[in-house]
Chains A and B, each alone.
Chain A
C-alpha cells in the first residue's frame, strides 16, 4: 500500500550546519497493517511521517501510495498530531468537521458525519464545547475523530499519545485498536515508547539516529484482536521477549553513538 524507497532528506540548521535527517530509508507498509515506528528522539521519525503526509519536500527517493507518487497532502491520508493541533476558537464539532469543510462538504452532511464520529470516540454531548474545556485525552479523541472524518485509508499518527498521562494513554490505546479493528485502516504510528510500539503494532520499524535510517524491522507476533485486554498482553512472555530485544538494540545504537563521539 505504501512504498518508501531510498528516501533521503537533509536540512540546514540555523547555525548553517547540514543535518541528515533521513538516509536511504526503505519501507513497505501493507494494506490494513498497523506499523509502529520506534526510535530515539531526533532520529527523524517525525520527518519520515511528515514526508509520508506530503507536508515536507525531500531530497531523493520516492514515496508511493497505491503506486501513485506522493506530491503533497492527499485525501487518502490523514494525520493525527502529537500536540492535538485543534483550533482553539472552533467548537469540537467544527474541529472534527474541519477537513470536510476544506473539501467543500455541505454543512448538514459534515455536521452529521462529525456527530457520529464524536459518538464513536465517546464524546457525544461535547459538540459545542471549545477544545480548551477538554482534558488532553479528550482533545486527542477529537483529533482522531477529525482524522477519521475525511474517511482516509491511511492514518498517520505522530506520537499521538505522548502528551497525555499514563492511564489515559492506556485507554486511548485500547480505543485506537478497537477503531482500527473495526474500520480496517492502514496505520503508521510514531512513538518513542517501546511498550506502545509492541502493544499496538503488527511490526515495529526501529530507527537509528543521525543519520536517520531504518535499522531493523521487528515483527510482533502477539495475537489479534488485542483491544480487549492490553494490560494482559503486557504481562505475556512474548511481549517481554520482544521489548527486551528492542531495548538491547536501542542500547547498542546508543553505545555506537557515544563511540562515534556524536552528542545524543
Chain B
C-alpha cells in the first residue's frame, strides 16, 4: 500500500559473468522503456497539457492554467505570507504529531500485550477509525477556542488512531515462540518487553508512525480549512475570498508537496530502521502475506 520503489541497481563490469556472450543485450531504447520514469513523465505531461488546454478553453476567474499556477507557486515561495502560514501550520503539526506518538505507542503496545483491555477498547478503536474527526472540530473550537491548542489536539486526534492500531498489531503478531524462548532463558516481563516485544514490533510501529504522519497533515489542513482560518488552510480561504485563483492553486500544490515530502521521509526512515523485516516482501504465495494493518 505504500511507495515501494525497489532500488534497481544494475552491476555491469568486467568479469561479472562467465560463459559466452548473450545473443542480444537489450539496447538503450529498450532499457529506457523498461524503466518507470518515462511513463511517469508521460502521465504528468498528459495531465499538465490537459489542464492547460481545458483552462484555456473553459477557464475563467477561478480556473488558472497549468503554467499560470506554476508561476504563481514560484512567486508564492518568495512571499513572507506563505512562510508565516507554513510556520503556523507546522507548529501545530509538530506538537500534535509528537503528542500522538507519545500517547499512541504505549497505548497501542499495551493493548496488544494485554488482551483483557483490548476486548473492551476494540469498539472504541473501531468507532474512532470510521468517525470523521472533522465533525469534532466544532466541539473543540467551542471548548478550546480558535487558538493553537485546538489545532494541536485535533492533529493529535487524527493521527493517534493509526499509531495505536499499528502498534497493537505489531505487538500482537510477535511470534509467541520468541516469548517462550525468552522465558526459558529466565527473562522477566521487563526483559521480554525490551528484548523481544518492542524490537519485534518496531516495523509495525514505524508503519503506524508513517501513516499517522500522513493523517496528521490531513488533520492540520482540515481544521484550518473548516474552522480555524489560519496557516496554510487559512491562506487557501483568503485567496478564495479574494478570487485569486493562481496563488490558491499554488498553496494547494505546496500543501501536497509538503505532505508527500514528510511521508516519503518517514517511509525512508522506516526502511532504514527495519530492514530485517522485509527481505522480499511481495510474491507471497498465499496472497495474504504479512498483511497487518499496513493496508490502511
Contact = CB atoms under 8 A, between A and B. Distances in A.
A and B touch in the complex (CB under 8 A): yes
Nearest to B285: A83
Given A17-B17, A262-B18, A12 B23 contact: no
Contacts of B10: 15-16
Majority SS at the chain B contact face: loop
A59 interface: yes
A29 B18 CA distance: 34
B22 A10 contact: yes
B18 A10 contact: no
Interface in A10-42: 10, 12, 15-18, 20
B18 A16 contact: no
Contact of B11 (A15, A20, A260, A261): A15
Contact of B23 (A16, A17, A59): A59
Interface in A59-113: 59, 83
Instruction: Give the interface size bracket for B toward A.
Output: 10 to 19
Contacts of A261: 18
Given A15-B10, A15-B11, A10 B23 contact: yes
B282 interface: no
Contacts of A16: 10, 12, 26
Contacts of A59: 23
Contact of A18 (B12, B22, B285): B22
A83 B286 CA distance: 12
A159 to B, nearest CB: 16
A18 B18 CA distance: 10
A177 to B, nearest CB: 30
Interface string B180-200: 000000000000000000000
Interface of B: 10-12, 16-19, 22-23, 25-26, 285
Interface of A: 10, 12, 15-18, 20, 59, 83, 260-262
